[in-house]
């Protein structure tokens, strides 16, 4: 019984952290699909979102939900600025300059936040205090919220991309920009929308995980590394893959830490990445691509 409880506890923690990886990985994937570029500032979107939450909730003293909405809106606006400041000027220059531009943005963001908020990590309280105790298993309320929100976001994402005109336009843009342009889809606008959405999504991940990991300058980089591994494991640029990859990494590292060794916890994600690259280079859901246009 005790062993079962322990396993359930470990599974729960793994799924919850995996959800956060999944949310950030989703942001990665959307931008990869729209622009063919990995956004290395994706983790910092989470960090920035969490700090916006702290600013509104603790700094200004707004209510939780008002702060929440403002933080996400703020992140949306930030995504637009990011699009026009970091991506747009370099859009015709191939992927390398853009990647370096996102790396630069990441460093800039971390140090700007450091200058504004100072170096001391901030505390955010759970949305709902406490948690649920079942036998010797404790389900932290914040982890439950994270799981629930991730599920809602996955459903929303599916509905949005498959069943709305805007979603379909976004998909068309990501599949073939020239064709999309010929069909009269405003490609630049679609990419801008992708950045706005990815930024808000990253911000959401940050706001959700803030109470668990605390809000610190480095929080984004830690999550982004795992999320990036999740992106590749799931299939580079695949939406389903990002979600499954995120959950997979969360659960694997949680169990491996419990059963094998805690100090090597961070290594398991990358061991998995290595194994997947060797045995299934296209990832779980990726298509085998023989040539890239």
User: Could you tell me which stretch among 31-39, 73-81, 183-191, 206-214 binds another protein (CB under 8 A)?
Assistant: 206-214
> What does the alpha-carbon distance between residue 20 and residue 182 come to, in Å, rounded to a whole number?
37
Q: Is 104 in the site for another protein (CB under 8 A)?
A: no
> What does the alpha-carbon distance between residue 115 and residue 157 come to, in Å, rounded to a whole number?
35
Q: Is 136 in the site for another protein (CB under 8 A)?
A: yes
64, 88, 117, 161: residue in contact with another protein (rule CB under 8 A): 117
3-state secondary structure of 131: strand
Q: Is 13 in the site for another protein (CB under 8 A)?
A: yes
CA distances from residue 214 to 122, 157, 178 in whole angstroms, order as listed: 6, 27, 44
- Site size for another protein, by CB under 8 A? 35
> What does the alpha-carbon distance between residue 46 and residue 51 come to, in Å, rounded to a whole number?
9
64, 108, 138, 270: residue in contact with another protein (rule CB under 8 A): 138
A 10 A CB-CB count for 287 gives 11
Nearer to another protein, 28 or 268 (CB): 268
118, 151, 156, 162: residue in contact with another protein (rule CB under 8 A): 118
Angle of helix 2-35 relative to helix 141-163, nearest 10 degrees?
Answer: 40
CB of 20 to another protein, least distance (A): 8
Q: Is 270 in the site for another protein (CB under 8 A)?
A: no
Q: Is 233 in the site for another protein (CB under 8 A)?
A: no
Q: Which one-letter DSSP state was computed for residue 106? A: H
Nearer to another protein, 240 or 265 (CB): 265
Both tokens of residue 66?
């008002």
CB of 155 to another protein, least distance (A): 25
User: Could you tell me which stretch among 41-49, 85-93, 108-116, 169-177 binds another protein (CB under 8 A)?
Assistant: 108-116
Helix then strand count (H, E) for the chain reads: 11, 2
Q: Is 263 in the site for another protein (CB under 8 A)?
A: yes
Q: Is 90 in the site for another protein (CB under 8 A)?
A: no
Residues 6+ away with beta carbon under 8 Å from 226: 21, 246, 249, 250, 253, 269
Both tokens of residue 94?
């191939």
Q: Which one-letter DSSP state was computed for residue 262? A: S
Q: Is 217 in the site for another protein (CB under 8 A)?
A: yes
19, 83, 198, 216: residue in contact with another protein (rule CB under 8 A): 216
Q: Is 278 in the site for another protein (CB under 8 A)?
A: no
Nearer to another protein, 130 or 281 (CB): 130
CB of 64 to another protein, least distance (A): 18
A 10 A CB-CB count for 65 gives 10
């Amino acid at each position: 019984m005790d062993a079962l409880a322990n396993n359930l506890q470990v599974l729960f923690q793994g799924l919850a952290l995996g959800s956060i990886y999944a949310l950030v990985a989703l942001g990665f994937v959307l931008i990869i699909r729209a622009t063919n570029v990995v956004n290395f500032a994706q983790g910092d979107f989470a960090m920035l979102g969490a700090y916006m939450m702290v600013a509104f909730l603790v700094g200004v003293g707004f209510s939780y939900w008002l702060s929440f909405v403002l933080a996400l809106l703020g992140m949306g606006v930030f995504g637009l600025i990011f699009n026009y400041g970091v991506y747009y000027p370099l859009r015709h220059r191939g992927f390398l300059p853009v990647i370096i531009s996102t790396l630069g943005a990441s460093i800039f963001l971390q140090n700007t936040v450091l200058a504004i908020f100072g170096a001391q990590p901030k505390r955010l309280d759970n949305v709902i205090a406490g948690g649920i105790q079942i036998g010797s298993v404790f389900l932290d309320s914040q982890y439950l919220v994270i799981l629930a929100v991730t599920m809602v976001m996955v459903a929303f994402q599916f509905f949005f991309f498959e069943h709305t005109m805007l979603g379909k336009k976004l998909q068309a843009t990501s599949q073939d920009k020239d064709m999309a342009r010929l069909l009269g889809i405003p490609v630049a606008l679609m990419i801008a929308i992708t950045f706005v959405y990815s930024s808000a999504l990253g911000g959401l991940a940050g706001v959700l995980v803030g109470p668990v990991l605390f809000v610190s300058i480095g929080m984004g980089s830690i999550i982004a590394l795992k999320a990036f591994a999740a992106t590749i494991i799931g299939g580079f640029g695949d939406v389903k893959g990002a979600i499954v990859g995120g959950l997979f990494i969360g659960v694997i590292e949680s169990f491996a830490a419990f059963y094998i060794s805690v100090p090597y916890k961070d290594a398991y994600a990358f061991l998995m990445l290595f194994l997947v690259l060797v045995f299934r280079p296209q990832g779980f859901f990726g298509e085998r691509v023989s040539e890239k246009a």
